Structure 1
Amino acid sequence: MNAPHTPPLAGRTALVAGATRGAGRAMAVELARAGATVWATGRTSRDRGTVSEVGRPTETIEETAERATEAGRDSGGRGIPAVVDHLDPAQVRALMERVDAAHGGLDILVNDLWGGDRFVGFDKKLWEHDLDEGLRVLRLGIDSHLITARYALPLLTRRAGGLLVEVTDGTEESNRAYREPLYYDLAKAAPLRIARALAEETEEYGTTVVCLTPGWLRSEAMLDEHFEVTEENWREGCAKDPHFAISETPVFVGRAVAALAGDPDVRRWNGCFLSSGGLAQVYGFTDVDGSAPDAWRYILEVQFAGKPADVAGYR
């Protein structure tokens, strides 16, 4: 008789900050599927009737936790919702006190906080961009990450093998180019520097810190607001932008995080900048359709190079 299979993240505690929708939701679900207890945080709550400035009230943190618990039904994983504004240090500190009291520490932190798209004045120069909205982009994309790391790292470094994943948009190579406007450029470059710095600061504790980017993400907002399609007919969006053919579901980057968290040799990645497509080649996971889109290699070699859309060899 074969020994019972032990889920790779059984007994592990994870926190996904910014898990209401998109990549954060998928990361929480996939971590729970692998056996982890996942605290999922966000500002839009069905129970409290609150809606974040993202303005999508039907996507709630409670639903994320329910999906995580369902995914973890066979592995022992589960989701725990927590309504938290990560720009409020008192709320973040209280959250970490709850996690500490329940579990005595933390094994995995995913810093997926964002929500600033609505404040980005794309194609506007610094002196044309609304100042308050620009500074809000920096608050949402940088300050929230720093506040969360400040209060989570004492729990994370307490345990051997802790993992911190800083999530951004773009690889180290792609972010060498200007990602206009200035506020967006700063917000998306900052997690790369945060990851590099915290990899140094936590070295003595054996904590692994990486920066991870999805490719062209078919988030809920990308599908219905920008391309006016659904996941079922997403390829129709290629009529608007043929390069959309390289896009991926949030599940793809969710599987990337679960693969990292379950890797006993994850320290090899400490201080590295990673992508969902690149990690798929290492760990062998795929997107839900069985493909493995290498979006950032495509974006650099085809889209940014001005070549016609052709995903052959890239997914």
Structure 2
Amino acid sequence: MNSSEQLLRGKVALVAGATRGAGRAMAVELGRAGAVVYATGRTTRERRSEVGRPETIEETAELVTATGGTGIAVPVDHLEPEQVAALVERIDREQGRLDVLVNDVWGGDHLLKFGQRAWEGELRDGLRMLRLAIDAHAITSHYALPLLIRRPGGLVVEITDGTEEFNTAYYREMFFFDLAKSGPLRMAWSLAHELRQYGGTAVCLSPGFLRSEEMLEHFGVTEETWRDAVAKEPHFAIAESPAFIGRAVVALASDPERQRWSGKSVFSGDLAKVYGFTDVDGSRPDVGGYFVDVVHGGKRASAADYR
């Protein structure tokens, strides 16, 4: 989609958890499509969250506006009901509508210790991950959905890591992380049932191997030089830019027949096969197929075969 295709002009979106990574990219691509985008998160130019990274919601809002949309940064801790309620009241007061809700709140990567069993480590860290991945999403939906259903055709996108099929087949190597990333799958399924009578759609969407700011730093590369990291991690060859999942959300939001996806969980690459959008390099990375066939299945193939 290019900047001239303002398919979402007049639409209002809330991207909860839009500070960086997939959240930022989804906000930016929604803006590129012409939407008014409320970008929320805990890290601002005045204060950093527990994640400790420098990206801010103000930067995200500025990027949204630069693409042709309208970006509005609102500091919100989505675990605080009063803050979420105030956010939705503001959207209602300023816009009178909400067309797209993206539940992307996470911020638990700094708590990950893969291989750690349920009875090991700090219990408070595991429970914090569940709060971030489940409670924050539930609180946001509770307050935002009454505004979203005011008009038929609203879209809820729950963001997680992995699809139902993938996460059922493969253990995510940490008890609390596995639970945290399973919650949004069921949320989308449940909301699909509750939104049906209002003409609404709920989908659970997962990025693939995401080239987030943190991941690029981990490998010591940039978005321009990311392929240099393949020597250290061969599977990084299937990595996708954050823009890929952003384009997936725009494809859903602009599809008048999007209810066909309601209740389902999909990778960005699954939607790319149907809608025809590409990543920034013109490819369509199929991380689900690559991990099932090559990483876990032992098939002799390269990442290039899945792009």
TM-score, structure 2 normalization? 0.96
Q: How does 1:228-243 map to 2 (within 5 A)?
A: 228-243=220-235
Match of 1:268 in 2: 260
SS in 1 for 2:284: coil
Encode CA deviations 1:214-253: one digit per residue, 9 max, x unaligned: 11000000110x2121111111111121011000000000
SS in 2 for 1:82: strand
CA contact (8 A) 1:16 1:28 kept: yes
The match for 1:178 among 140, 164, 171 is 171
Shift of 1:306: 3.7
Measured in 1, the distance between the counterparts of 2:62 and 2:304 equals 37
Match of 1:21 in 2: 20
The match for 1:107 among 67, 89, 99 is 99
SS in 2 for 1:9: coil
Match of 1:217 in 2: 210
TM-score, structure 1 normalization? 0.94
Residue 234 and residue 308 in structure 1: after superposition, are their counterparts in 2 closer, same or farther (change >3 A)?
farther
Shift of 1:25: 0.4
Match of 2:63 in 1: 67
Q: Which runs of 5+ in 1 are unaligned?
A: none
SS in 2 for 1:313: helix
Match of 2:43 in 1: 44
Match of 1:56 in 2: 53
Moved more, 157-166 or 234-243: 234-243
Measured in 2, the distance between the counterparts of 1:265 and 1:71 equals 26
Give the residue type in structure 2 aligned to 1:162. Answer: G
CA contact (8 A) 1:242 1:309 kept: no
Match of 2:287 in 1: 295
SS in 2 for 1:218: coil
Q: Which runs of 5+ in 2 are unaligned?
A: none
Shift of 1:160: 1.0
Match of 1:161 in 2: 153
Give the residue type in structure 2 aligned to 1:248. Answer: E
SS in 1 for 2:210: coil
The match for 2:275 among 283, 303, 308 is 283
Moved more, 14-23 or 302-311: 302-311
CA contact (8 A) 1:92 1:151 kept: yes
SS in 1 for 2:114: coil
- Identical counterparts, % of pairs: 63
Measured in 2, the distance between the counterparts of 1:100 and 1:62 equals 21
Shift of 1:171: 1.4
Match of 2:306 in 1: 314
Shift of 1:269: 1.1
Shift of 1:308: 5.5
Match of 2:78 in 1: 86
Work out whether 1:246 is the aligned partner of 2:238.
Answer: yes
Shift of 1:104: 1.3
Measured in 2, the distance between the counterparts of 1:264 and 1:204 equals 16
Aligned Cα RMSD in Å? Answer: 1.2
**Would you say how many aligned residue pairs link Structure 1 and Structure 2?**
303
